[in-house]
């Protein structure tokens, strides 16, 4: 196989996944609605005082987006597994890790990016402080691809199961802990007028490593669960 | 083939391992109980009371060995999972999965004894200290591995998938520990710290080390017993497994034929 044909395969895969999402574009709104509802629950539970909400805003938005991403993870391989095209991907002569990286990228583009776009709105609901907003967006831009990549490994391990929802949460959430700490840590540092570059740089470094390693791990995991 | 490699290959065969484990497991349990009893006597009765914490510090003789074991069991599981994934050795798959429940139990004991110790010393059952949080995440990792192992029907595929998760966790664990340390130091400053065991008295040290030895032996005892069960489960249809089951139940052969007549 030549390099050109691998490129064509990746392009075809991206176009196919985007078309599938576009045909069911109503579903793409669900993660945003979920995050909106979760964020709306916090003022109802804690009371509407702006000071209280401002202090927890960044952390709540981070957790809400993390949970929305967790729920959306299930759709990464589900329909492909059910119609058998996932097995065709594994059988194809092209490097599986590369194809999976394309799938993960499309999934991030269609589920996480809308959430990031909605994040400023969620911030207004919780009276997020103005200086924190750009830091929150930067942290989310770095953290959500990382979450998608880590999550994809665990989804690949649970791909054949019927009721994998709770189990997937149990597998994924402990691995999400460092991402949450650094992402929300940067926002809290910005809120307290402390330097926030270090956690963002750590997130970026972790993202670079995960971009290389996670698709390979995802491919290995997929081969185990489809064997 | 040299003697060591030959012995290693032979040990990897389930019937040989089963014979060895049947002999070794009671010894591990027995020695663990004896040494553990001596260590408990040394720790609870012979060792002097701490000048600051009084008698409350004596929970260290359970807490610290259990904490060591929670990490040791995870590393043991990850090493075996690696061997199982790379060289496809059936025994390593079973060993990795057999160490998970015991490791989770030790992690749980660490958290429980730690919170019992924290109540009189720190005045609270739980504090979001870096070590406590990492240990909690470790427990979740164990539970994830166990949950994944039991969610897949095919035993060997389940062991490989759960072993892979254990390997992902072993990459993640130092990052978790580091990030939690960073998070904690940024927000809380220095928490109330216990006296480090750096200047521990010899009268306190020997029960601690003896208890650590006892918990290791107990771990290997349960490991051998669990691995025997796991191997019998996987190889249930094979001759060696059948002969062991028939040998352990003298009436089983007769009962089986009777049932087939009915």
> What is the Cβ-side half-sphere exposure of residue A158, based on CA atoms within 13 angstroms?
26
B122 and A CB contact within 8 Å: no
Q: Which residue range is the domain that position A68 belongs to? A: 3-226
In this complex, is the C-beta atom of B180 within 8 Å of any C-beta atom belonging to chain A?
Answer: yes
More confident residue, A160 or A33: A33
Is residue B213 within a helix (H) or strand (E), and if so which, with residue range?
A: helix B202-234
Which of the pair, B175 or B192, is modelled with greater confidence? B175
Q: Please tell me whether the interface predicted TM-score (ipTM) of this complex is above 0.85.
A: yes
**pLDDT band of B200, cuts 50, 70, 90:** low
The C-alpha atoms of residue B205 and residue B48 are separated, in whole angstroms, by 11
CA atoms within 13 A on the CB side of B196: 2
From the list A173, A182, A217, which residue is nearest B168 (CB)? A217
State the pLDDT at residue A216: 95
Handedness of CA A86, A88, A90, A93 (dihedral sign): negative
The pLDDT value given to residue A2:
54
CB contact under 8 A, A185 and B164: no
Proportion of chain A above pLDDT 70, given as a percent: 98
Partner-chain contact B164 A174, CB within 8 Å: no
- Residue of A224, A225, A226, A227 to mutate, testing the B interface (most B Cβ within 10 Å of its Cβ): A224
pLDDT in tens, B44-59: 888 777 777 777 788 8
Q: Do A177 and B147 touch (CB under 8 A)?
A: no
Give the domain B21-227 fold.
Answer: 1.20.120
DSSP letters for chain A:
--HHHHHHHHHHHHHHHHHHHHHTTTGGGHHHHHHHHHHHHHHHHH-S-HHHHHHHHHHHHHHHHHHHHHHHHTTTTHHHHHTTHHHHHHHSSS-HHHHHHHHHHHHIIIIIHHHHHHHHHHHHHTT--TTHHHHHHHHHHHHHHHHHHHHHHHHHHTTT-SS-HHHHHHHHHHHHHHHHHHHHHHHHHHHTT---HHHHHHHHHHHHHHHHHHHHHHHHHHHHHH-
pLDDT at B193: 44
pLDDT at A75: 87
State the average pLDDT over residues B82-103. Answer: 92
Q: Chain A partners of B180 at a C-beta cutoff of 8 Å?
A: 177-178, 181
pLDDT over 70 (residue B186): no
Task: Quickly state the pLDDT bin for B197 (edges 50, 70, 90).
Answer: very low
pTM, whole model, 2 decimals?
0.86
Q: What radius of gyration do chain A's Cα atoms show? A: 18
Reported confidence tier of residue A25, pLDDT bands at 50, 70, 90: confident
Chosen from A175, A183, A199, A200 to mutate, greatest number of chain B CBs within 10 A: A175
Task: Determine the pLDDT at residue B185.
Answer: 54
B75 touches chain A (CB under 8 A): no
Quote the tokens at residue B206: 């020997």
Residue B251: pLDDT band (50, 70, 90) is low
CB contact under 8 A, A177 and B137: yes
Could you tell me the CA-to-CA distances from A223 to A86, A107, A218, B87, B143 in Å, in that order?
Answer: 11, 20, 9, 16, 23
The structural domains of chain B, with segments of one domain joined by +, span 21-227
CA distance B248 to chain A (A): 36
CA B186 to centroid of chain Cα atoms: 33
Between B251 and A27, whose confidence is greater?
A27
Say what the pLDDT of residue B16 is.
87
Res B2 pLDDT > 80: no
Tell me, yes or no, if A186 comes closer than 8 A to chain B by beta carbon: no
What is the least distance, in Å, from the CA of B137 to any CA of chain A?
6
Counted domains in chain A:
1
Tell me, what's the pLDDT at A206? 93
Chain B residue nearest residue A195, CA to CA: B186
């Amino acid at each position: 196989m030549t390099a050109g044909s691998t490129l064509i395969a990746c392009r075809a895969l991206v176009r196919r996944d985007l078309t599938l999402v576009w045909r069911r574009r109503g579903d793409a709104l669900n993660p945003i609605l979920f995050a909106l509802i979760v964020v709306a629950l916090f003022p109802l539970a804690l009371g509407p005082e702006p000071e209280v909400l401002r202090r927890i805003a960044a952390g709540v938005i981070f957790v809400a987006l993390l949970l929305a991403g967790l729920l959306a993870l299930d759709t990464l391989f589900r329909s492909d597994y059910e119609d058998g095209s996932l097995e065709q991907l594994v059988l194809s002569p092209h490097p599986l890790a590369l194809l999976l990286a394309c799938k993960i990228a499309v999934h991030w583009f269609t589920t996480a990016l809308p959430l990031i776009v909605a994040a400023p709105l969620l911030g207004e609901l919780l009276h997020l402080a103005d200086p924190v907003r750009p830091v929150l967006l930067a942290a989310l831009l770095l953290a959500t691809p990382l979450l998608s990549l880590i999550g994809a490994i665990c989804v690949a391990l649970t791909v054949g199961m019927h009721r994998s929802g709770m189990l997937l949460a149990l597998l994924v959430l402990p691995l999400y802990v460092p991402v949450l700490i650094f992402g929300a840590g940067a926002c809290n540092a910005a809120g307290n007028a402390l330097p926030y570059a270090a956690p963002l740089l750590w997130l970026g470094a972790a993202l670079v490593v995960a971009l290389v390693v996670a698709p390979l791990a995802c491919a290995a995991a997929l081969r185990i669960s489809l064997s | 083939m040299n003697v060591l490699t030959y012995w290693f290959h032979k040990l990897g065969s389930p019937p040989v391992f089963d014979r060895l484990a049947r002999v070794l497991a009671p010894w591990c349990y027995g020695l663990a109980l004896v040494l553990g009893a001596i260590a408990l006597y040394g720790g609870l009765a012979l060792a002097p009371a701490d000048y600051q914490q009084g008698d409350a510090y004596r929970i260290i003789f359970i807490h610290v060995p259990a904490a060591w074991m929670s990490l040791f069991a995870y590393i043991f599981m990850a090493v075996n999972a690696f061997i199982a994934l790379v060289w496809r050795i059936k025994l390593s798959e079973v060993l990795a999965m057999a160490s998970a429940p015991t490791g989770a139990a030790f992690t749980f004991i660490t958290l429980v004894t730690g919170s019992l110790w924290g109540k009189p010393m720190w005045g609270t059952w739980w504090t979001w200290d870096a070590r406590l949080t990492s240990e909690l995440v470790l427990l979740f990792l164990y539970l994830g591995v166990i949950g994944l192992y039991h969610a897949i029907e095919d035993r060997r595929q389940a062991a490989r998938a759960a072993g892979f998760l254990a390997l992902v966790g072993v990459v993640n664990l130092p990052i978790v520990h580091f990030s939690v340390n960073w998070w904690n130091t940024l927000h809380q400053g220095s928490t109330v710290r216990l006296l480090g065991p750096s200047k521990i008295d010899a009268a306190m040290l020997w029960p601690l080390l003896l208890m650590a030895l006892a918990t290791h032996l107990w771990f290997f005892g349960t490991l051998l017993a669990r691995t025997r069960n796991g191997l019998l489960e996987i190889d249930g249809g094979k001759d060696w497994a059948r002969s062991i089951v028939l040998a352990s139940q003298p009436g089983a052969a007769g009962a089986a034929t009777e049932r087939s007549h009915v």
